[in-house]
Amino acid sequence: MLIMRNVVLIGFMGTGKSRVGRLLASRLKRPYIDTDKKIEKGCGIPIPEIFQKYGESFFRTKEAAVIARVSRYTHSVISTGGGVVLSPENMSRLRSNSVLITLTASPQTILERTGRRNNRPLINHPDREQLIKKMLSERELLYGASDLTIDTTNYTPHQVVDIIVTFLREGGFLRG
Ligand code: S3P
């Protein structure tokens, strides 16, 4: 049923998925799920430590297992990690019962937002700016395959939520 679909946020690191997801869930009065938090909880350690101790492919395996689990949920708002799009299987699972929304931002904004905390092992690099640009261009097509894309560069999280709610309402994904 249309109104039971999840709303899934995808996008590069620092585009606001967690902040917007939390606000959106509270606005829609729906459960909120953050897949990175679920992975951390399952492993008992934070993401940088997962990468450091066990490597990226271990993290991706855990991520796929969490995606398989949460894609059986309904009526939830789900924020994903930026690399969830790298797996076609993750995406087909999420797509099956969700509205997919991509958040983007300019490389400069991503650089600034992700610089506030040192919790992104994949861009923990002396030339973060170059790396961010390279990864953005490698993933651009993958992020493009969604139902709606919002550039969050010049918006507050509340404004992004407003745009999403309008889109969901106009698409018949919400009651009222
Ligand atoms: C990753 C993004 C991170 C986290 C992990 C890998 C990525 O999530 O899943 O560090 O590959 O882009 P955020 O997008 O929430 O930072």
Per the prediction, the chain carries an average pLDDT of: 96
Ligand 1 atom nearest the C-alpha of 34 is 15
In order of their start, the domains of the chain are 6-169 (3.40.50.300)
Q: Does 114 have pLDDT greater than 90?
A: yes
Q: Does ligand 1 have an atom closer than 6 angstroms to the CB of 122? A: yes
Whether pTM exceeds 0.85: yes
Percent of the chain with pLDDT over 90: 93
| Beta carbons within 8 Å of 66's beta carbon, 6+ residues apart | 35, 38, 39, 42
Q: Cα-flanking dihedrals φ and ψ of residue 105, to 5°?
A: -160, 160
Q: Does 1 have pLDDT greater than 60?
A: no
- At 175, the pLDDT band (50, 70, 90 cuts) reads confident
Mean pLDDT of 88-113: 97
A 10 A CB-CB count for 176 gives 3
Q: Does ligand 1 have an atom closer than 6 angstroms to the CB of 120? A: yes
Mean pLDDT of 158-169: 97
pLDDT for 118: 85
Instruction: Please give the residue that has the higher pLDDT: either 35 or 116.
Output: 35
Dist. CA 129–CA 165, nearest whole Å: 32
Condensed to tens digits (0 to 9), the pLDDT of residues 22-58 reads 999 999 999 999 999 999 999 999 999 999 999 999 9
Closest residue to atom 16 of ligand 1, CA basis: 13
